[in-house]
Amino acid sequence: MTAHARLSASGSQRWLNCTPSLLLEEEFEDTTSDFAKEGTLAHAVAELKASKYFLKGIGPKNFKKGMDIFKQDELWNPEMDRYTDDYFDYLKSLSIGLIGRPYVAIEKKVEYGEWADEGFGTADCIMISGDALHVIDFKYGKGVPVYPEENTQLMLYGLGAYASYGFLYDIKQIYLHVVQPRLDNFSSWGLTIDELLKFGEYVKGQSSKAIAGEGDFKVGEHCRFCRAKAVCRARAEENIKLAGFTKIEPKTLTNEEVGKYLFQAQDLKKWVSDLEEYALSESLAGREVLGWKAVEGRSNRKITDELGFAEILVGAGFEEAVIYKPKSLETLSNLEKLVGKKELAELGKELIIKPQGKPTLVKLGDKREAITNVISAEEAFS
């Protein structure tokens, strides 16, 4: 089992922003989902591929043996092979682009205890070349894109790496990289060592508050993965306050207010579903949640033996053509898993199209280009 630091880098958004969350979270069980387990397997595959190339010592025979073991895992999927190749290709081209031959460490334990009590984590890859230190993080998730800009997890790894190598190399610049191949997200961000150490000072202050359970509860995006999110009073109060918007003059909202409330209400939907999930688990555990209970949900009828039933229907005089659905192709994402992303795009280059997406509202920081349906005078004339 992997050991986790109390002041973990992956949870740092929470304990840095909402310092009392650290102690509150410890009252709740940590549940690891299958997604997390899938990520662990993908990391192990990525580690083997990177180690074979950079660290040597793993011959083709041992590499094959390692891969065969991974392929036996119930969470293994051929697309894992391709996505870990994408990660490995990124590492390879980064190292080739650096001056001279870089120092490379794979799955390196980095300790940032100097700034956050007993804090440590594992950096997927570290490269040092000249005065630059690179921290590369492989993200296997495809739910939310993760970016390196001001990413506290990567900055903590950067601090830990600096603690390990700062006395050996004259490091002046830090580059943080996120490789999230399932979302086609390959991004990097640089900062100076002075900026990183300034962040370290901030970490020192916030981590001692967190350990002592001091500071104010602060609600924000970081609540998303908090173990206390369903029952945290601060979050509840914030959302209830929002739900009961007080009198606003004039009678209609300005676009500025719409933007502001939308921002604040982002959490409301999530909070309600967190409450539902929590109330269901409490009811199932036999604990009363005032006014609510758990029941068996609606379900659809199911045929237990399709072939057997088809025979009965044919025997009763129905033709196969009318009792079977027409043959249809698998979804593109399933075909992609089967064939491979690049290969499928090549095979279907004349037949796969991407229709225009439905207009969607996102935050200003989103990397996609803004659209409007305002027609310019020039377009109207043409």
Nearer to ligand SF4, 178 or 275 (CB): 275
103 φ, ψ (degrees, to nearest 5):
-80, 135
Contact pick of 156, 232, 275, 279 for ligand SF4 (by CB under 6 A) = 232
Selected from 24, 128, 154, 196, the binder of ligand SF4 by CB under 6 A is: 24
Assess 134 for contact with ligand SF4 (CB under 6 A). no
Per the DSSP assignment, residues forming a β-bridge with 103 are 128
Q: Binding residue for ligand SF4 (CB under 6 A) from 126, 139, 222, 275?
A: 222
Rounded CA-CA distance 363/221 in Å is 13
The bridge status of strand 173-180 relative to strand 132-138 is parallel
Q: Is residue 229 a contact point for ligand SF4 (CB under 6 A)?
A: yes
Angstrom distance (rounded) from CA 178 to CA 199 = 19
Selected range binding ligand SF4 among 78-86, 214-222, 299-307, 311-319, rule: CB under 6 A: 214-222
21 is a site residue for ligand SF4 (CB under 6 A): yes
User: How far apart are CB 218 and ligand SF4 at their closest, in Å?
Assistant: 6
The minimum distance between CB 232 and ligand SF4, in angstroms, equals: 3
Euclidean distance between CA atoms 11 and 271, whole angstroms: 19
Instruction: Give me the least distance between CB of 237 and ligand SF4, in Å please.
Output: 10
Q: Does 219 bind ligand SF4 (CB under 6 A)?
A: yes
Comparing CB distances to ligand SF4, the nearer of 176 and 223 is 223
Q: Are the C-beta atoms of 187 and 148 separated by less than 8 Å?
A: yes
Give me the least distance between CB of 267 and ligand SF4, in Å please: 9
Q: How far apart are CA 152 and CA 57, in angstroms?
A: 34
Q: Which of 5, 9, 18, 125 binds ligand SF4 (CB under 6 A)?
A: 18
**What are the tokens at 259?**
């933007």
> Rounded distance, CA 78 to CA 380, Å?
50
Tell me how far apart the alpha carbons of residues 227 and 232 are, in angstroms, rounded to a whole number.
9
- Kindly tell me which of 24 and 196 has the beta carbon lying closer to ligand SF4: 24
Report the C-alpha gap between 133 and 193 in whole angstroms.
Answer: 10
Backbone angles phi, psi at 185, to 5 degrees: -110, 110
CA–CA distance, 166 with 170 (Å, rounded to integer) = 6
CB of 15 to ligand SF4, least distance (A): 8
Residue 46 within binding range of ligand SF4, rule CB under 6 A: no
66 Cβ neighbours under 8 A, 6+ residues apart: 48, 58
Among 171, 191, 223, 275, binds ligand SF4 (CB under 6 A): 223
Q: What angle do CA 100, 103, 108 make, to 5 degrees?
A: 155
Contact between 234 and ligand SF4 per CB under 6 A = yes
Nearer to ligand SF4, 134 or 229 (CB): 229
CB of residue 356 to ligand SF4, shortest distance in Å: 37
Minimum CB distance to ligand SF4, residue 54 (Å): 38
Q: Which of 217, 275, 279, 336 binds ligand SF4 (CB under 6 A)?
A: 217
Q: Please, what is the minimum distance in Å from the beta carbon of residue 148 to ligand SF4? A: 22
Token pair recorded at residue 101: 């031959």
Q: Which helix (H) or strand (E) holds 279?
A: helix 255-284
Residue with tokens 């990413």: 151
Q: Which is nearer to ligand SF4, 18 or 174 (CB)?
A: 18
Which residues would be at the binding site for ligand SF4 (CB under 6 A)? 14, 18, 21, 24, 217-219, 222-223, 226, 228-229, 232, 234-235
